[in-house]
Structure 1
């Protein structure tokens, strides 16, 4: 069973399953996060949905690059969690299946290419407070132990 974080499931609401991959990006005590301005300003672990026909690891490299401008080296899979949420940018009620990997940023190629995202470095302690999603915070905590 995969642990659930976040909002409770709304009775009678239909959710579409949406698999995604995300990275805890550590460099010493620093964590590379992404700040997304809209629809709600929030700090997140970089990553996102896996496109149809796309392999998860390829999706992780693509998403992290789009949201941070960094190339990464993946160390290992940390775990997975589920989140039930409304995604206004897609007008979608989603059951997000989030797989989290530990990785390290190796080369900054430029600014994020995805509009509305900003790469933000912060201390691990600060990230444990600033990450908006409780599942992201739990996976960061796991990576730090």
Structure 2
């Protein structure tokens, strides 16, 4: 469904009366050898996700993408290519925040694993595109995965 500004929305609509805060993030579809690198977030969420996350003040989306992918997977990436964006309305319990997430999606190449994921409760997993499509926790991530594969 297209929302304001023509950006597609995935997931639940805005709930009337909730104090949403816009939160931009950068996320990556990371294909390699016919598989895709995902992050699993344990703790609060317990779901597979495209690696990525919030863009910090003073940070460009591409800088955030490199930082977040490393934090959530331990991998360095190269050649990020912007694919598009979508919005979703969610409650983020880790921040006690109702968020209108603006998700900027890139395709990038996973180059080298440098470490285990430094971010607590995250682990890196390789999946076939079919398994990833079943496992990913939100329909926007699945749509961009489908577009890449």
TM-score by length of 2: 0.94
User: Is residue 62 from structure 1 mapped to residue 67 from structure 2 by the alignment?
Assistant: yes
SS in 2 for 1:86: strand
How is 1:95-106 mapped onto 2 (pairs within 5 angstroms)? 95-106=100-111
Once the 2 structures are TM-superposed, how far is the Cα of residue 28 of structure 1 from its aligned partner? 2.4
How is 1:81-96 mapped onto 2 (pairs within 5 angstroms)? 81-96=86-101
Q: Of 13, 20, 39, which residue of structure 2 is paired with 1:8?
A: 13
SS in 2 for 1:96: strand
Q: Which residue of 1 aligns with 2:36?
A: 31
Once the 2 structures are TM-superposed, how far is the Cα of residue 27 of structure 1 from its aligned partner? 0.3
RMSD of aligned Cα (Å): 0.8
CA contact (8 A) 2:62 2:80 kept: no
Once the 2 structures are TM-superposed, how far is the Cα of residue 7 of structure 1 from its aligned partner? 1.4
CA contact (8 A) 1:74 1:101 kept: no
TM-score by length of 1: 0.97
Q: Which aligned runs of 4 or more in structure 1 are off by greater than 6 angstroms?
A: none
Matches of 1:17 and 1:97 in 2, distance apart?
7
Once the 2 structures are TM-superposed, how far is the Cα of residue 76 of structure 1 from its aligned partner? 1.2
CA contact (8 A) 1:84 1:93 kept: yes
Matches of 1:139 and 1:89 in 2, distance apart?
25
Residues matched between the structures, number? 144
Q: Which residue of 1 aligns with 2:55?
A: 50
